[in-house]
Amino acid sequence: MNPTRANPWLEDPNANPIDPDPWHPHRATIGRIDRELDTPSSSVFTLEILLEPSPYADAYRFSPGQFNMLLLPGSGEVAISHSGPPTDRSFKTLQPGSFLHTIRAVGRVTDALEQLQVGDSLGVRGPYGTPWPMPLLIGQDVLLLSGGLGMAPLRPVLYAIQNHRDDFGRVDLLYGSRSPETILYAAELDTWRRWGIGVETIVDHAQDPLNENSQDTAPWVGPIGNVTQLLDRRESLGDYPDFRPERTQVLVCGPEIMMHRCAQSARKLGIPAQAIWLSMERNMQCGVGYCGHCQWGPLFLCKDGPVVSYDLAQTLLEIKDL
Ligand SMILES: Cc1cc2nc3c(=O)[nH]c(=O)nc-3n(C[C@H](O)[C@H](O)[C@H](O)COP(=O)(O)OP(=O)(O)OC[C@H]3O[C@@H](n4cnc5c(N)ncnc54)[C@H](O)[C@@H]3O)c2cc1C
Ligand code: FES
């Protein structure tokens, strides 16, 4: 198996353009903090991060799907995907040196990141990893499948598509969440619909079983189940008449089992494995292919991923506990 087939952008010299010294964290400050979710089961926030002026900051560009290593001295370092901002025609960020990260507080480092205030400092290394295959999406229909926090690395794709809407065919987002209260970027969904993106949401539970206040929110009238069901329904109801599997690219991000099931469903709809892209996560330490912590079969996901084609991922996903 040839790891370089994971993503054609590995061949692109601009895909990972900067930082001659990948071990060196760069100073940055917090420009803005948005609370995204505040439920007993989910604490999610978005940090706008501003790199301190330097040649690195001037050169900094990311492509949707890539990630940074965020360093808090005394706590540690974590891999976090870019969740914005919008990108320009070359799918690189417009504002050099600033970007967004949406983070769920789950442990030592992410809890410490949650304590940061506007103006506080942190270290940044990156951008790392393979991006979504944006050039392949041009002229194609695009189907985005997202589960939970998987929406964060997909949001820059929507921004990029909106910046050049005419370059893309039909664009749909099927988005699954545990409950209505945990739908990430809920306030943006109508904006995306106005951009001509078909947005469908589905939840596991109409009320969050872990949130005793969830009865106070408006009752959920949408579908209950998971994203795969939304996808399968397209086939069985025949309610998707202009669906063109031969010219559809599918981007999937969410829990591993969800991505595997979605990819299987997409295959049943006739979409080729090479047109299905998954964002794989493993514990990452160096981020640049040296330490081996992120190894997945023959791949080091920090550099051969996180975005890999299902063509390559399929056999690995079928190996139990890999
Ligand atoms: C390429 C990549 C992109 C990522 N993007 C984002 C993002 O955009 N937003 C975000 O909130 N998180 C993201 N993550 C996950 C994030 O890196 C982990 O949540 C973080 O490392 C946890 O560190 P911690 O010190 O806070 O928690 P720890 O104390 O290390 O762990 C707390 C719990 O989280 C689990 N955990 C640790 N690392 C991971 C991981 N990589 N995936 C799943 N569970 C993990 C541990 O097993 C443990 O149960 C990404 C991970 C990767 C590899
Ligand atoms: S994180 Fe070290 S090799 Fe990938």
For residue 283, give the ligand 2 atom closest to its CA. 1
Residue 164 sits in a domain whose CATH number is 3.40.50.80
Query: Is the pLDDT reported for residue 130 higher than 70?
Result: yes
Q: What is the total count of domains within the chain?
A: 2
Query: Is the pLDDT reported for residue 126 higher than 80?
Result: yes
In a domain, 93, yes or no: yes
In a domain, 322, yes or no: no
Lowest mean pLDDT among 3-17, 45-59, 180-194, 265-279: 3-17
Q: Which residues pair with 50 in a beta bridge?
A: 29, 98
Could you tell me the pTM of the whole model?
A: 0.90
Report the number of secondary-structure helices (H) and strands (E) in the chain.
Answer: 8, 14
In a domain, 145, yes or no: yes
Ligand 2 centroid from CA 42, angstroms: 28
The pLDDT tens digits for 171-195 are 999 999 999 999 999 999 999 999 9
The pLDDT tens digits for 227-260 are 999 888 776 555 566 788 899 999 999 999 999 9
Could you tell me if 205 and 154 are in contact, meaning their C-beta atoms sit under 8 angstroms apart?
A: no
For residues 301 and 167, membership in a common domain is answered with yes
Ligand 1 centroid from CA 244, angstroms: 36
For residues 294 and 308, membership in a common domain is answered with yes
Quote the domain boundaries for residue 36: 3-128
For residues 7 and 141, membership in a common domain is answered with no
Ligand 1 centroid from CA 170, angstroms: 33
For residues 73 and 187, membership in a common domain is answered with no
For residues 206 and 96, membership in a common domain is answered with no
Atom 53 (ligand 1): residue with closest C-alpha?
281
For residues 117 and 151, membership in a common domain is answered with no
Could you give the CA distance from residue 100 to residue 48 in angstroms, rounded to a whole number?
5
* Nearest ligand, measured from the Cα of 291: 2
